[in-house]
Amino acid sequence: MSDVIVCVACHHEIDSTAKLCPYCGADPRSGAKVDTQAMLQEVFRPRPTTRGAGLLDFVRTGQGAIIAAGIAIGFLILAGLYQFVSRRNDTAVSAASAIPITEITDLSDQGDEAKPLPMPDMQFQYDGHPQTMRTFVVEPGAVPPPEAVAAQAQPPH
């Protein structure tokens, strides 16, 4: 715990390490009034506020170097990313000439190759009664199953 002294000018108890009394502003040991503005200017010397000197002081303190290093690292990252994308595009993209997207998606420009082929001619067997109609595709060399042959041989009811 720090020692306590009594200010000679105002008789308040203050810390013994104080150079000024916080109550009256005098020197606690002699009681003489001190010009506080002069003391503050002596302790806290203001820096020159010229623009060029302020920038140089900022750079000298090291903060400018940190900011400059950050900007340089940012540029290096961007340059590396650009190189990566450029090389990837060189290997991933074909050297052939480009085809316009309209030629791929526009069906009106396409010729007969886009039209559906016609259905082949189908041969249907019809016994005259639509209720019992059976449809068979007759292929050359095909043999009908025995049930179909028996159904066709029976007279309609």
Tokens of 107: 């069906």
**The pTM is what?**
0.27
Domain ranges of the chain: 4-43, 51-89
Compute CA 43 distance to the chain's CA centroid, rounded to the nearest angstrom: 50
Q: What is the DSSP letter of 23?
A: T
The pLDDT value given to residue 114: 64
State the burial class of residue 34 (Cβ atoms within 10 Å of its Cβ: 0-12, 13-18, 19+): middle
Say if CB 34 and CB 20 are below 8 A apart.
Answer: yes
SS3 state of residue 105: helix
Residues of the chain with pLDDT under 50: none
Tokens of 32: 């003489």
The pLDDT value given to residue 76: 96
The pLDDT value given to residue 59: 64
The pLDDT value given to residue 56: 67
Taking CA atoms, 150 is separated from 143, 144, 155, in Å, by 13, 10, 10
